[in-house]
């Protein structure tokens, strides 16, 4: 019989492989989060978001004004969404050290945050529509994804 050249993996080899896979997954999550944040910052700079928010319009086009009421509603919803997220992540998981899932411990918080997010995104789209028109949809989506992925870099 010919000798078998198949290598038998020990438990240490499997653990090292598993750790390497976990590190690779962690790196890839951070990498794609950084890509989304960078993309959102680039879009914000390209569409002159800071000038639109500060002066209600893009420079050179004062007739296309930001709708302030919907913008304030979007900011309020985003702030409340952030408060709910901070409650679940910081207070419930880190301070109270609750082992249950969020859905079991605070069952109304996820639907509430979802409603806040939807109302906020729709409000931002309506507020930016006079400035960018149909492009408000992808612009708000990209900015939202950038803000969402910014949470990957909060040290908790």
Tell me whether residue 54 is in a domain: yes
Provide the domain limits for residue 136. 29-153
What would the two tokens of residue 18 be?
């598993």
* Structural domain contains residue 49: yes
| pLDDT, tens digit only, all 156 positions of the chain | 555 555 555 556 666 678 888 999 999 999 999 999 999 999 999 998 998 998 887 777 777 789 999 999 999 999 999 999 889 888 888 888 888 888 888 889 999 999 999 999 999 999 999 999 999 999 999 999 999 899 888 776
Torsion sign across C-alpha atoms 124, 82, 38, 18: negative
- 19 located within any domain: no
* Model-wide pTM > 0.95: no
Unique residue bearing structure tokens 């880190």: 94
Number of domains present in the structure of the chain: 1
What angle, rounded to 10 degrees, do the helices at 109-132 and 136-149 form?
140
Q: CA–CA separation, 92 vs 22, rounded Å?
A: 26
For residues 91 and 119, give the distance between their C-alpha atoms in angstroms, rounded to a whole number: 25
Q: Is residue 53 part of a domain?
A: yes
Residue 84: inside a domain: yes
Q: How many CB atoms lie within 10 A of CB 44?
A: 17
Within-domain flag for 100: yes
Q: Is residue 63 part of a domain?
A: yes
Q: Is residue 87 part of a domain?
A: yes
Three-state SS for 115-134 is: HHHHHHHHHHHHHHHHHHHH
């Amino acid at each position: 019989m010919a000798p078998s050249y198949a290598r038998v993996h020990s438990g240490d080899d499997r653990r090292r492989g598993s750790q390497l896979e976990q590190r690779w997954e962690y790196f890839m999550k951070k990498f794609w989060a950084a890509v989304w944040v960078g993309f959102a910052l680039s879009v914000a700079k390209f569409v002159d978001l800071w000038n639109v928010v500060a002066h209600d319009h893009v420079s050179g086009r004062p007739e296309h004004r930001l709708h302030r009421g919907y913008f304030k509603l979007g900011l309020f919803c985003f702030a409340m969404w952030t408060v709910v997220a901070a409650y679940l992540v910081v207070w419930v998981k880190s301070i109270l050290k609750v082992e249950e899932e969020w859905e079991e411990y605070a069952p109304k918080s996820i639907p509430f945050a979802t409603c806040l997010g939807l109302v906020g995104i729709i409000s931002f789209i309506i507020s930016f529509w006079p400035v960018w028109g149909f492009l408000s949809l992808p612009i708000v989506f990209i900015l939202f994804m950038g803000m969402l992925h910014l949470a990957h870099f909060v040290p908790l």
